């Protein structure tokens, strides 16, 4: 896991930037319901009046309000309000008389530069004073409207403030102790009630001065609306930037993982390829890495954003109404339970899905690569059944997982709608009791939806995370697999005096988990300028010798020397530079004929390419192709014959001009005429190079200077063709099955 996690380190800066943007976006999204609440509470219900302490009030209004204030509150008000003339000019260039149409010669206005803390204290002073007035009037029985209903704001809304002014003389006669007692009682009342009553009285005070309350309301709503538009714009920009950054990070991580996985696979020896199937490696390089890329693309946004929104939503919701926090707690408990249950059901299936994808790829690859054989034997129906079985098994698991995940959405919607209904039910009762405002209930509802949506995002990640974690494990398995064939720390040089010399010294080899040796005590020397041929029955170990020489495997015991150096003590790249290898099965790379011939030597000239094509007996059919050397070779060389593929593979090895040639049964697809012409041209071209030929045809190797006969992994004969006919029964048996009596004589 750590091996894969380190790929995020180069993108740590981008990740932190995305995290910062997500935090900013979350703050924007969390503040939108607050502003919506302000529009409803302040803009609509309170006519755009935010503060219980009015910005201006008449002399009569000030006297009335201070009547019900404590001495401390009176001092605070006197300190922050000043008496001004209606002719004085305000900061916006208008006089107070123009702003307040009904103002007399003088009025009280709040001093400029009052900070937020003092403003809050003033609001509390006016709120408490207003509620003291209501409480005192209720106790004195002066107004019945103050006791009707539960909404004090509504009762004040119908009060004629001039009548209150008319009663000022009577209020002045009331003992101060009685007013302070009412003030103490009011101070302990519900803050929401005091706030609403204070705002309503402030509205009456503004209307008394002739202020345009409708204009104040419109201006407030427009102001808050513009702020909300700005916040939404910032949130949108953050969303776009996070999507861009996460996509770049995901693509970059996927690119680097894919590059390293491919490089690691390229370093694998045949032993590692025996452990991982080709189909599985293809799936790991494509599908598994795509799963990680998808997780990063979605996860950077959802995994980081959802918790911020969930935690922030809880905090903001509780700040609006702590009494309804139990609703969110209950909803979160149910949501967590649903997520845990669903995850426990689908997690084991996600692990199985990737294995089934491997199996499907294996069946598909075998069917497509062996299509000609399938058609020749008429087994299309059987292969269709194999594919359908693998496909149906994968489909069933995917359908099961999808069905389980599909239930998530209706469950989430049920919880969401249930929570909404519960909030409206409980909130309506609190609104009727004036302990909550409508805007606060709406904001609480939106926060609840944000919390539920956050859990929904987290649940969506449970679709990607388990499957991606399986993919991470599969990729880590490849990256953590160390190649069994590795270059030594101290590389020994070649002995230039033994250039081209190949020596096998008591070589034994056993495949992994095999009970017996495939090769036993193989000892021979292949000299420069000579051809060493290896022949034997099927399964005798001929191709294994070629694989050991190229160090596709390491010997179990003994040693192989090339140019006087043990192949385990020299670099693999340097070793293989010296060898021109033609495999038993000709493999061509998609591209042109020319690019395939140049594969071993990129800087080969056109003359060299034409020469090797002529020696490999490929020039004739190349000239007949529509584009000649520029003819496009299909993937796997499917648009050329087996013999043409072998000749191009031989030409590719010849272009490399190595010290050692290894032909692993590379003439099997050639007709006898081409075989003879090719061997003759090779003899002239290879010159002082060492040639090792693994073959089934005696005619191909009968002119070799040294022929090794293998049987059951052991050398049972060594010599020339004539010598072996006389001394090696196994060779004579092979030769007699292929040659006439005259050729055996």
What pLDDT sits at residue 297? Answer: 87
Q: What is the mean pLDDT of residues 438-448?
A: 84
Same domain, 547 and 402: no
Residue 38 belongs to some domain of the structure: no
Query: What pLDDT is attached to residue 158?
Result: 60
**Cα–Cα distance between 646 and 656 in angstroms, integer?**
16
Biggest alpha carbon distance in the chain?
A: 150
The verdict on 101 and 228 lying in the same domain is no
What average pLDDT score do residues 596-624 get? Answer: 88
For 48-60, the DSSP string reads T---SS-SEE-HH
CA within 13 Å, CB half, 180: 8
In a domain, 217, yes or no: no
Q: Examine the domain organization and report whether 362 and 504 are in the same domain.
A: no
Characterise 687 by phi-psi region: left (phi > 0), alpha (psi -120 to 50), beta (else). left
Q: Name which of 15-29, 137-151, 429-443 the model is least confident about.
A: 137-151
Q: Residue 581 forms beta bridges with which residues?
A: 662
Structural contact between residues 592 and 629, judged by C-beta atoms closer than 8 angstroms? yes
Q: Which pairing describes strands 502-509 and 519-526: parallel, antiparallel, or unpaired? A: antiparallel
Yes or no: say if 621 and 674 are a contact pair by the CB < 8 Å rule. no
Does any domain span residue 6?
yes
pLDDT band at 208 (very low <50, low <70, confident <90, very high): confident
Structure tokens at 341: 């249950």
Q: Are residues 673 and 615 in the same domain?
A: no
Residue scoring higher pLDDT (187 or 461) = 187
pLDDT higher for 428 or 274?
A: 428
543 and 593 assigned to the same domain: no
Within-domain flag for 182: yes
**Residue 190: its pLDDT value, please?**
79
Whether 228 and 324 map to the same domain: the answer is yes
- CATH number for the domain that contains residue 498: 3.40.50.300
Residue-wise pLDDT for 173-194, tens only, equals 888 888 888 888 888 887 878 8
**Secondary structure (3-state) at 524:** strand
Pull the structure tokens for residue 614. 């002529």
In whole angstroms, give the CA distance from residue 246 to residue 11. 10
Burial of 11 (0-12, 13-18, 19+ CB in 10 A): buried
Residue 476 or residue 155, greater confidence? 476
Label residue 507 by pLDDT band (50, 70, 90): very high
pLDDT at residue 144 greater than cutoff 60:
no
Range scoring the smallest mean pLDDT among 194-203, 215-224, 467-476, 572-581: 467-476
The pLDDT tens digits of the residues spanning 118-134 come to 999 999 999 899 888 88
CATH of residue 19's domain is 1.20.1560.10
377 and 279 housed in the same domain: yes
Q: Which residues contact 41 (CB under 8 A, 6 or more apart)?
A: 437, 438, 439, 440
The domain in which residue 537 lies consists of: 489-578+659-745
- Domain co-membership, 667 together with 651: no
pLDDT of residue 545: 92
Question: In 3D, which of 499, 503, 408, 401 has the Cα closest to residue 458?
Answer: 408
pLDDT band at 250 (very low <50, low <70, confident <90, very high): very high
Residues paired with 633 in a beta bridge: 591
Question: pLDDT value at position 228?
Answer: 93
Residue pointed to by tokens 């009335």: 64
Q: In terms of C-beta density within 10 A (0-12 exposed, 13-18 middle, 19 or more buried), how is residue 678 classed?
A: buried
Is residue 618 in some structural domain? yes
Number of domains forming the structure of the chain: 4
Question: Does 2 have pLDDT greater than 80?
Answer: no
Name the band, by pLDDT with cuts 50, 70 and 90, for residue 1.
low
Q: Any bridge partners for residue 525, and if so which?
A: 503
pLDDT bin (cut points 50, 70, 90) of residue 153 is very low
Answer yes or no: do 307 and 366 share one domain: yes
Residue 348's pLDDT band (cuts 50, 70, 90): confident
Q: Which residue has the higher pLDDT, 672 or 565?
A: 565
Q: What is the mean pLDDT of residues 272-283?
A: 79
- List 502's β-bridge partners, or say none: 526, 562
If you average pLDDT over every residue of the chain, what do you get? 84
Higher pLDDT, residue 281 or 255: 255
Structure tokens given for 24: 């900013």
d(CA 585, CA 595): 19
For the cut 60, the answer to whether the pLDDT of residue 92 exceeds it is yes
Do residue 230 and residue 373 come from a single domain?
yes
Within-domain flag for 625: yes
Per-residue pLDDT, 238: 92
Q: Which of 657, 691, 713 is the C-terminal boundary of a domain?
A: 657
Q: What is the pLDDT of residues 630-640, one digit of tens each?
A: 888 887 777 88
**Bigger pLDDT: 124 vs 155:** 124
On whether both 73 and 94 belong to a single domain, the answer is yes
Structure tokens at 373: 């054989």
Q: Annotate 260-295 with b (16+ C-beta within 10 A) or e (fewer).
A: bbeebbeebbeebeeebeebbbbbbbebbbebbbbb
Average pLDDT over residues 364-386: 80
Q: In the prediction, which pLDDT does 432 show?
A: 78
pLDDT at 641 over 80: yes
Residue range 521-526: average pLDDT? 93
pLDDT tens-digit series, residues 288-303 = 888 888 888 888 888 8
**262 vs 277: CA distance, rounded Å:** 14
Q: For residue range 578-592, list pLDDT tens digits in order.
A: 999 988 887 888 889
Question: Is pLDDT at 331 greater than 50 in this prediction?
Answer: yes
Please provide the DSSP assignment of 180-243 as one string. HHHHHHHHTS-HHHHHHHHHHHHHHHHHHHT--HHHHHHHHHHHHHHHHHHHHHHHHHHHHHHH
Q: Is the pLDDT of residue 726 over 60?
A: yes
Supply the pLDDT for residue 143. 41
pLDDT one-digit tens code per residue, 525-571: 999 989 999 998 888 888 899 989 998 888 999 999 999 999 999 98
Pairing of strands 591-592, 632-633: antiparallel
Per DSSP bridges, beta strands 591-592 and 531-536 are unpaired
Q: Name the residue with higher pLDDT: 491 or 160.
A: 491
Tell whether the torsion through CA atoms of 168, 174, 180 and 185 is positive or negative: negative
pLDDT bin (cut points 50, 70, 90) of residue 692 is very high
Say how far apart CA 56 and CA 49 lie, in whole Å.
12
Question: Per DSSP, what are the bridge partners of residue 693?
Answer: 533, 663
Residue 645 lies in a domain: yes
Instruction: Check whether residue 258 and residue 156 sit in a common domain.
Output: no
pLDDT tens string 403-413 = 887 777 788 78
In 3D space, the residue among 644, 684, 681, 685 whose CA is nearest the CA of residue 666 turns out to be 644
Confirm whether 310 is domain-assigned: yes
Q: Taking 70 as the threshold, does the pLDDT of residue 463 lie above it?
A: no
Question: Strand 106-110 relative to strand 519-526: parallel, antiparallel, unpaired?
Answer: unpaired
- Give residue 147's pLDDT band: very low, low, confident or very high (50, 70, 90): very low
pLDDT band at 227 (very low <50, low <70, confident <90, very high): very high
Check residue 745 and give its pLDDT. 60
> Which of 177, 211, 245 is at the close of a domain?
211
Out of 642, 657, 672, a domain closes at: 657
Q: What is the DSSP letter of 634?
A: P
What does the pLDDT read at residue 327? Answer: 85
Q: CA-to-CA distance for 597 and 603, rounded, in angstroms? A: 11
């Amino acid at each position: 896991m750590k091996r894969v996690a380190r790929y995020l380190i180069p993108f740590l800066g981008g990740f932190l930037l995305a995290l910062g943007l997500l935090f900013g976006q979350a703050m924007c999204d969390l503040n939108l319901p607050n502003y919506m609440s302000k529009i409803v509470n302040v803009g609509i219900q309170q006519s755009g009046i935010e503060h219980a302490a009015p910005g201006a009030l008449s002399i009569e209004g000030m006297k009335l309000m201070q009547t019900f204030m404590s001495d401390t509150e009176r001092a605070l008000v006197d300190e922050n309000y000043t008496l001004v003339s209606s002719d004085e000019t305000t900061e916006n260039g208008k006089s107070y008389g123009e702003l307040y149409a009904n103002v007399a010669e003088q009025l009280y206005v709040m001093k400029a530069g009052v900070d937020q803390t003092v403003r809050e204290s003033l609001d509390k002073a006016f709120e408490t004073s207003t509620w003291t007035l209501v409480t005192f009037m209720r106790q004195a029985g002066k107004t019945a409207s103050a006791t009707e209903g539960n909404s004090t704001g509504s009762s004040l809304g119908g009060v004629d403030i001039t009548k209150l002014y008319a009663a000022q003389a009577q209020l002045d006669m009331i003992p101060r102790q009685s007013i302070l007692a009412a003030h103490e009682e009011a101070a302990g009342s519900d803050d929401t009630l005091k706030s609403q009553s204070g705002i309503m009285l402030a509205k009456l005070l503004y209307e008394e001065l002739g202020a345009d309350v409708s204009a104040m309301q419109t201006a407030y709503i427009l102001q808050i609306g513009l702020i909300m538009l700005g916040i939404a714009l910032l949130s949108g920009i953050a969303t776009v930037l996070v999507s861009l950054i996460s996509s770049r990070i995901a693509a970059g991580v996927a690119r680097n993982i894919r590059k390293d996985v491919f490089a690691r696979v390229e370093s694998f020896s045949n032993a590692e390829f025996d452990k991982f199937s080709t189909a599985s490696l293809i799936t790991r390089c494509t599908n598994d890495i795509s799963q990680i890329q998808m997780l990063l693309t979605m996860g950077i946004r959802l995994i980081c954003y959802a918790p911020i929104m969930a935690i922030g939503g809880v905090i903001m919701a509780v700040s609006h109404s702590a009494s309804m926090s139990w609703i969110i707690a209950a909803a979160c408990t149910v949501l967590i339970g649903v997520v845990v249950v669903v995850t426990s059901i689908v997690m084991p299936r996600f692990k199985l899905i990737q294995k089934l994808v491997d199996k499907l790829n294996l069946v598909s690859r075998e069917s497509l690569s062996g299509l000609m054989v399938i058609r020749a034997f008429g087994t299309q129906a059987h292969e269709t059944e194999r594919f359908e079985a693998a496909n149906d098994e994968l489909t069933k698991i995917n359908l099961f997982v999808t069905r389980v995940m599909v239930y998530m959405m209706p469950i989430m919607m049920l919880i969401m709608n249930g929570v909404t209904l519960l909030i409206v039910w409980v909130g309506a009762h609190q609104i009727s009791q004036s302990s909550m405002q409508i805007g606060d209930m709406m904001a609480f509802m939106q926060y609840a939806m944000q919390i539920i949506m956050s859990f929904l995002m987290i649940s969506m990640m449970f679709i990607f995370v388990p499957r991606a974690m399986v993919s991470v494990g599969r990729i880590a398995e490849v990256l953590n697999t160390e190649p069994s064939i590795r270059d030594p720390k101290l590389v020994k040089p070649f002995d230039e005096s033994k250039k081209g010399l190949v020596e096998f010294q008591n070589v034994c080899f056993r495949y992994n988990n095999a009970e017996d040796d495939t090769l036993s005590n193989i000892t021979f020397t292949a000299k420069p300028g000579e051809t060493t041929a290896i022949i034997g029955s099927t399964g005798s170990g001929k191709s294994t010798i070629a694989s050991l020489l190229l160090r596709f495997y390491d010997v179990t015991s003994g040693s192989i020397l090339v140019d006087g150096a043990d192949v385990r003590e020299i670099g693999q790249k340097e070793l293989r530079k010296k060898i021109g290898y033609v495999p038993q099965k000709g493999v061509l790379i998609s591209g042109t004929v020319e690019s395939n011939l140049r594969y071993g030597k990129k800087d080969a000239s056109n003359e060299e390419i034409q020469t090797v094509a002529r020696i490999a007996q490929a020039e004739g059919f190349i000239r007949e192709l529509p584009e000649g050397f520029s003819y496009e070779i299909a993937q796997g060389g499917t648009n050329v014959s087996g013999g043409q593929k072998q000749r191009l593979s031989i030409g590719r090895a010849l272009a490399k001009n190595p010290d050692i040639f290894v032909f692993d049964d590379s003439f099997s697809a050639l007709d006898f005429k081409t075989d003879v012409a090719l061997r003759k041209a090779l003899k002239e071209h290879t010159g002082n190079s060492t040639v090792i030929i693994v073959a089934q045809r005696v005619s191909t190797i009968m002119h070799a200077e040294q022929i090794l006969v293998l049987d059951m992994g052991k050398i049972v004969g060594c010599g020339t063709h004539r010598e072996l006919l006389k001394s090696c029964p196994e060779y004579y048996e092979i030769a007699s099955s292929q040659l006439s009596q005259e050729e055996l004589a």
